[in-house]
């Protein structure tokens, strides 16, 4: 009988994620692409000079012009990743999310709650312009984004092998059928087109608008100046206004949350080399 592989602990996952982040940083610097550590990863660099100890999520963001250039350079072959690194695309029939992920195929993941990409990854979010509109209209636009996000989520949750999914299939069949018929690829295409209507370079404010994160818009000028922050002895790019960014999102970000709230946001396990049977 084939031995079931053991899943990796958080320290091992962090070491693997660091390798992916180092590779992403390498190609961005080589091609003059702007990016910044983002969300919990930026917070971890500022507060711990490492990853947040209980978090296996690594996020970076790129202004939309750099994000699209990054994708084009990968597709044209001008960006060549080192062995084992693979880009999960944000477009086309096989896309699962409206943003890209850089994966390392030496580490497989198995989610217990939804369909996921096959390998350990970092998230790469595009930063789009936020229109100069009244708050009421911005909220209406955000609700539209959330509907597309929900459609994308439903296309990943409904078909998974989970007990609660089986229970929901009968009473909510027609509800789910609407989202599944609409389709994941169409929702991603419509969502990204909607978010790109307001170009980053022509907007005074910007934010990640395509994954329900629009609540912390910052001046586009924040992306004019960059510095470096340390994670486990390696230096990565961050906007110079990182303190303002973190304060806007988290408030007193240097004070860790109580232990009861230190929860891993993901529900997957990570394995070396192969997915368990």
Position 211 scores a pLDDT of 79
Tens of pLDDT, residue by residue over 235-259, are 999 999 999 999 988 889 999 888 8
Q: What pLDDT score does 4 carry? A: 63
Average pLDDT, the chain: 88
Q: Is pLDDT of 265 > 70?
A: no
Residues 83 and 158 in one domain: no
Contacts with 237 (C-beta within 8 Å, 6 or more apart), sequence order: 25, 28, 29, 34, 35, 36, 37, 226, 227, 228
Shared domain for 42 and 115, answered yes or no, is yes
More confident residue, 139 or 52: 52
* CA–CA gap between residue 212 and residue 139 (Å, rounded): 11
How many Å apart are CA 67 and CA 44, to the nearest integer? 23
Spatial CB neighbours of 104, under 8 Å, sequence gap ≥ 6 = 16, 19, 20, 84, 85, 86, 119, 120, 121
Per the domain annotation, does 83 fall within a domain? yes
255 in the same domain as 139? no
| Total of domains in the chain | 2
Identify the weakest region by mean pLDDT among 63-77, 85-99, 245-259: 245-259
**Which residues touch 210 (CB under 8 Å, ≥6 apart)?**
98, 99, 125, 126, 128, 145, 149, 191, 192, 195
Tell me the whole-structure pTM to 2 decimals. Answer: 0.90
Q: Is the pLDDT of residue 277 over 50?
A: no
Q: Tokens standing for 157?
A: 């949750």
pLDDT bucket at 76, cuts 50 / 70 / 90: very high
pLDDT in tens, 169-224: 666 666 677 777 888 899 999 999 999 999 999 999 999 988 765 567 899 999 99
- The lowest-confidence range among 28-37, 63-72, 115-124, 165-174 is 165-174
Whether 149 is in a domain gets the answer yes
Rg (CA), the chain: 19
Residue 215 lies in a domain: no
Last residue of a domain, one of 145, 162, 197: 197
**Alpha carbon separation from 7 to 20, 34, 86, 90, 271 (Å, rounded):** 19, 34, 21, 28, 5
pLDDT above 60 for 276: no
More confident residue, 138 or 121: 121
Q: Residue 227 sits in a domain of what CATH number? A: 3.30.460
Task: Report the pLDDT value the prediction gives residue 186, as an integer from 0 to 100.
Answer: 92
Cβ 85 vs Cβ 23: under 8 Å: yes
111 confidence band (pLDDT: 50, 70, 90): confident
One domain, residues 162 and 246? no
Residue 116: pLDDT band (50, 70, 90) is confident
Q: Does the pLDDT at position 159 exceed 60?
A: no
Please check the confidence at residue 49 and state whether its pLDDT lies above 70: yes
- What integer pLDDT is reported at residue 214 of this predicted model? 55
Let me know whether 116 and 143 are in one domain.
no
Q: Which comes out higher in pLDDT, residue 160 or 29?
A: 29
In this predicted structure, which of 123-127, 177-181, 267-271 has the lowest mean pLDDT? 177-181
Instruction: Examine the domain organization and report whether 79 and 180 are in the same domain.
Output: no
Where in the sequence is the domain holding 16, given as residue range(s)?
7-130+222-260
């Amino acid at each position: 009988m084939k031995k079931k592989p053991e899943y990796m602990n958080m320290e091992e996952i962090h070491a693997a994620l660091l390798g992916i982040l180092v590779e992403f940083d390498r190609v961005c610097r080589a091609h003059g692409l702007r990016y910044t550590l983002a969300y919990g990863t930026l917070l971890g660099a500022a507060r711990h000079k490492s990853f947040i100890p209980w978090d296996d999520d690594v996020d970076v963001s790129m202004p939309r012009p750099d994000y699209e250039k990054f994708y084009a350079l990968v597709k044209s072959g001008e960006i060549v990743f080192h062995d084992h690194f693979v880009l999960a695309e944000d477009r086309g029939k096989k896309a699962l999310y409206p943003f890209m992920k850089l994966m390392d195929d030496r580490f497989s993941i198995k989610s217990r709650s939804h369909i996921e990409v096959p390998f350990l990854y970092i998230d790469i979010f595009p930063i789009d312009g936020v229109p100069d509109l009244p708050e009421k209209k911005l909220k209406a636009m955000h609700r539209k984004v959330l509907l597309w996000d929900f459609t994308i989520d439903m296309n990943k949750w409904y078909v998974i092998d989970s007990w609660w999914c089986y229970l929901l299939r009968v009473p909510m069949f027609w509800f789910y059928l609407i989202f599944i018929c609409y389709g994941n690829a169409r929702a991603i295409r419509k969502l990204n087109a909607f978010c790109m209507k307001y170009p980053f370079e022509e907007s005074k404010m910007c934010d990640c608008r395509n994954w329900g994160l629009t609540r912390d818009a910052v001046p586009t000028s924040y992306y004019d100046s960059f510095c470096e922050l340390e994670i486990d002895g390696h230096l990565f790019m961050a906007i110079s206004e990182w303190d303002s960014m973190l304060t806007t999102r988290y408030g007193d970000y240097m004070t860790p949350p109580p232990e009861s709230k230190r929860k891993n946001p993901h529900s997957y396990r990570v394995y070396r080399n192969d997915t368990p049977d």
